[in-house]
C-alpha cells in the first residue's frame, strides 16, 4: 500500500501544516521530516499544538493548510483507519468491555487476518510484552503500567510502519515512567519503527529522541538532536523550556572556529558557537550558562585566574535530593540566576554547602542573604544570539 522507497525520502513528511480553531491558531506553518526508523519527539508546553500535529498525522484532525505524506503518499482525505499508522493514546483508550486478548486481537480482526494467524500473532505480541498471564483480564483489573503495555501491544501486533505516541507515560508514577521509558526506547530500536512522540516532559524528550522538535504557540522553535538543543538552543524560549538557563548580555570580541570570545561585565569569556550562527566582532548578544555549570564560592574566596566571575547574593534556596538549588541576585544581571550545586562533590570551595554543613551538624555558610562569588566552568557557556 505504501510506496516502499526506503532510503531517499523521509518516512513522514509534514509540509506547511496549519490548523485554526476559532480564533486560535493551533498550528502554523509546520514542516518536518521524520527519517525512517528514527525516534522524533515533539516537545512543548501544553497548548503548543504538538498533539494537534500528531492528530493530523493520525488522521483525526484535517489540516487547514499543508500536507501530510507517509512513505511518499499524500494522506489528504484518507480516514484514520486506512493510514496504517499505530497510535498510543495518553489515556491508553483500551476498550473496557474487552479482555486484554480481545483488545490485542481487535486490530487484527479489523484487518481480516485469518483466524490461525490472528491467534498466533496475538499470542506472540502478548508474550513479547510479558502480558500472556493477563490475557483474560479486563483493563480495569490492570495496573497503569500493564495498561500501557496493552495499549502498545495492541498497536504493535499490527506491525505498523509508523508509531505515534501521545504522552504515553504521563499517567504513570515517576519510577515506572523511568523504567518504561527505557523499555520503550529499547523496543523501538529493536524494531526500527519510525516513531513520532509527543511530550511536555523535557527529560523524556532528551533521553528518548534521535530528533527533537521544540514547539511553542503552534510553531516550530528548533529541530535538532537533543544534545544540540540543550547545548545550543535556538532562542530564548528553547533555552528556558529545555533545561534552565541563565542569560548574560555580552559584546563579541573575536569569532573563532566553533567558539566566540566575548566580553561580559568587563571580563573575557569564551562561549561555544553553533555552526549556523555567525556573530560579528563588536556586536552585542546573549550567552547562556546552565545552572549546573556555575560554581559557588564564599565571597572573596580564591578563584582560578582567567575564570569569569561575579558577585551575588543568595535570594532563596531549595533542596532537590541530589543537588541544592540557589536563586541568586547577580551583580550587573537583571534577572535572577539559578545555580545547582551537586551534593556529592560540592563545588563550594569554602566551608561547604548548606546541606553538607547540616550533615556535619553546623550550619554556617550559605543562607538567604549570604554574599557569594560565582564562577563559570571553562567551556560551558553557549552563544545564543
Partner 1 sequence: MTTGLKRVGRLWRYDPGLLLAYGLAGLFLLVFVVWPLARVALEPTVADWRQVFTTPRWQRAAGNTALMLVLSTTSSLLLGTLYAFAVTRARVPGAQLFSAVPLFLLLTPPFVSGLAFILLLGRRGLFTYHLLGLETSIYGWHGLWLAQTLSFFPVAYLVLRGAFMAADTSLEQAARGLGAGRWQVLRSVTLPLVTPALLAAALFISIGVLGDFGNPMLVGGRFQVLATAVYTQLTGWASFGTSAALGLILLVPAVLLFATQQWVQSATQGRYATVGGRSSSLPPPAVAPWLHWSLFALCVLVTLFVVANLGVILMGALTRLWGVDFSLTLEHARYVLSHVGGLGNSLRFAALASVLCTVLAGLVAFLVKRGGVPGRTGLDLATLLPAAIPGTLMGVAFVLAFSQGPLRLTGTGIIIVVGMAVSYLPVGYRVCAAAIDQLRTSLDESAANLGASKLTAFATVVAPLTRQALMAAFVFCFVQSVGTLSTVIFLVSFDTPLASVTILNLADQGSWGRAAALAAALIIVTMVALALLFLITGRRFKPFQEFTRAGA
Binding site for partner 1 (CB under 8 A): 58-60, 77-82, 85-87, 89-91, 93, 95-97, 106-107, 110-111, 154-155, 158
> Quick one: 69 or 246, whose CB is closer to partner 1?
69
DSSP string, 170-208: TTS-HHHHHHHHHHHHHHHHHHT-EEEEEES-HHHHHHH
* Min separation Cβ 299 and partner 1, Å: 52
Write out the three cell numbers for 166.
501521545
> Quick one: 29 or 64, whose CB is closer to partner 1?
64
Query: Collapsing DSSP states into helix, strand and coil, what is residue 247?
Result: strand
Q: Where does the chain show beta strands of DSSP type E?
A: 12-21, 24-34, 39-43, 65-70, 73-74, 85-88, 162-166, 194-199, 211-216, 219-224, 246-255, 259-264, 267-272, 284-289, 294-298, 309-319, 323-330, 337-342, 371-376, 382-383
> Quick one: 113 or 224, whose CB is closer to partner 1?
113
**Please, what is the Cα angle at 268 between 267 and 270, to 5 degrees?**
140
* Min separation Cβ 184 and partner 1, Å: 18
> Quick one: 87 or 134, whose CB is closer to partner 1?
87
CA distance 77 to 57: 11
* Min separation Cβ 111 and partner 1, Å: 5
> Quick one: 6 or 111, whose CB is closer to partner 1?
111
* Min separation Cβ 155 and partner 1, Å: 7
* Min separation Cβ 54 and partner 1, Å: 11
Which helix (H) or strand (E) is 109 found in, with range? Answer: helix 100-110
> Quick one: 94 or 255, whose CB is closer to partner 1?
94
* Min separation Cβ 33 and partner 1, Å: 23
Amino acid at each position: 500500500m505504501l510506496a516502499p522507497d526506503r532510503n531517499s525520502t523521509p518516512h513522514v513528511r509534514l509540509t506547511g501544516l496549519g490548523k485554526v480553531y476559532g480564533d486560535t491558531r493551533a498550528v502554523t506553518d509546520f514542516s518536518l521530516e521524520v527519517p525512517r526508523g528514527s525516534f522524533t519527539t515533539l516537545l512543548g508546553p501544553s497548548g503548543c499544538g504538538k498533539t494537534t500535529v500528531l492528530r493530523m498525522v493520525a488522521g483525526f484532525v484535517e489540516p487547514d493548510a499543508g500536507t501530510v505524506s507517509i512513505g511518499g503518499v499524500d494522506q489528504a482525505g484518507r480516514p484514520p483507519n486506512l493510514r496504517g499508522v499505530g497510535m498510543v493514546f495518553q489515556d491508553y483508550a483500551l476498550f473496557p468491555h474487552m479482555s486484554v486478548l480481545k483488545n490485542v486481537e481487535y486490530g487484527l480482526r479489523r484487518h481480516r487476518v485469518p483466524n490461525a494467524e490472528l491467534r498466533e500473532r496475538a499470542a506472540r505480541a502478548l508474550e513479547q510484552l510479558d502480558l500472556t498471564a493477563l490475557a483474560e483480564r479486563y483493563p480495569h483489573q490492570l495496573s497503569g503500567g500493564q495498561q500501557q503495555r496493552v495499549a502498545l501491544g495492541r498497536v504493535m501486533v499490527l506491525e505498523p510502519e509508523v508509531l505515534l505516541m501521545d504522552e504515553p507515560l504521563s499517567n504513570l508514577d515517576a519510577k515506572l515512567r523511568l523504567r518504561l521509558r527505557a523499555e520503550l526506547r529499547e523496543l523501538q530500536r529493536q524494531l526500527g519503527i519510525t516513531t513520532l512522540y509527543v511530550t511536555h516532559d523535557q527529560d523524556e524528550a532528551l533521553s528518548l529522541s534521535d530528533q527533537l522538535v521544540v514547539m511553542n504557540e503552534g510553531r516550530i522553535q528548533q529541530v535538532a538532536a537533543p544534545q544540540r538543543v540543550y547545548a545550543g538552543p535556538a532562542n530564548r524560549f528553547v533555552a528556558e523550556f529545555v533545561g534552565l538557563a541563565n542569560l548574560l548580555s555580552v559584546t563579541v570580541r573575536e569569532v573563532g572556529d566553533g567558539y566566540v570570545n566575548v566580553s561580559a561585565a568587563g571580563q573575557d569569556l569564551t562561549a561555544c558557537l553553533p555552526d549556523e550562527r555567525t556573530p560579528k566582532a563588536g556586536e552585542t548578544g546573549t550567552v547562556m550558562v546552565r545552572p549546573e555549570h556555575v560554581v559557588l564560592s564564599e565571597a572573596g574566596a580564591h578563584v582560578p585566574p582567567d575564570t569569569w566571575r561575579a558577585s551575588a547574593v543568595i535570594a532563596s534556596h531549595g533542596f532537590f535530593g541530589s543537588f541544592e538549588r540557589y536563586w541568586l541576585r547577580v551583580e550587573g544581571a537583571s534577572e535572577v540566576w539559578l545555580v545547582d550545586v551537586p551534593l556529592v562533590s560540592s563545588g563550594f570551595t569554602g566551608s561547604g554547602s548548606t546541606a553538607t554543613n547540616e550533615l556535619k551538624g553546623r550550619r554556617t555558610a550559605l543562607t538567604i542573604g549570604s554574599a557569594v562569588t560565582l564562577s563559570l566552568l571553562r567551556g560551558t557557556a553557549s552563544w545564543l544570539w
